[in-house]
Structure 1
Amino acid sequence: MLTTPCPCGTGEAYDACCAPLLANTAQATSPEQLMRSRYTANVRGDADHLFRTWHPRTRPDDVTPDPWTRWTGLRVLAAEGDTVEFVASFDGGSLHEASRFAQRAGRWVYVDGDIR
């Protein structure tokens, strides 16, 4: 059992937070929860989670996280409806995005995002 804090920034332990989503034993109940799990997947290098949670219409062929990027933090700025605006920090910079999500077969999936 991993009691270390989850990378997504909720303050919960990884095992109680994003681990079940990455293991595909639970599904996200909101766009924000899915976005947080996708951030965690990038931190952990989990391409499978990124692939299965990306809408097939907009998903690129290669979703492998860059192994050289060291993610250092996530801050959710707003979560309204099917959109989540966040800033994800990494060594040397940050990514500010408003991500759009949709439900597909009863599951939340990432559709696309606008870089800010």
Structure 2
Amino acid sequence: MQIKKHIFCDCFLKDVKNLSKKCKGRDLKVESVALAELLVKNPESLKLQVLLHKEDDFALYKSRLKGCSGRGKSGGLRLIWGVYDQALIFVRLYSKSEFSNIPVHELLDNLLNCLEEENQDE
């Protein structure tokens, strides 16, 4: 699949801003984009991600990123992102220590609000 567009939800951008204070020296937005693009280009590694929701032409995933304190991925950051119509959509980025999990219905609400805002901007 060829990605033609990146969509950054407001809640994702707020998460990045808040986490950047803890993760000094890291560009979490760039890391998130690089990870999602890598996974989309390699379907075998995409199968190893947590699939949160799937419809005909849309999928929502949860992926792990290295934590801010240098700990491994299991205690680190969680990236919630989706693929829809040749676009990567970045929904949330949070620390595992802040939330163990965010309910899928809440993530889907965040996503729908984001897409509505995106359509209004166009």
Length-normalised TM-score, structure 2: 0.31
Higher helix share: 2
Higher strand share: 1
Length-normalised TM-score, structure 1: 0.32
Q: Which protein shows a greater Rg? A: 2
Larger RCO (CA under 8 A, 6+ residues apart): 2
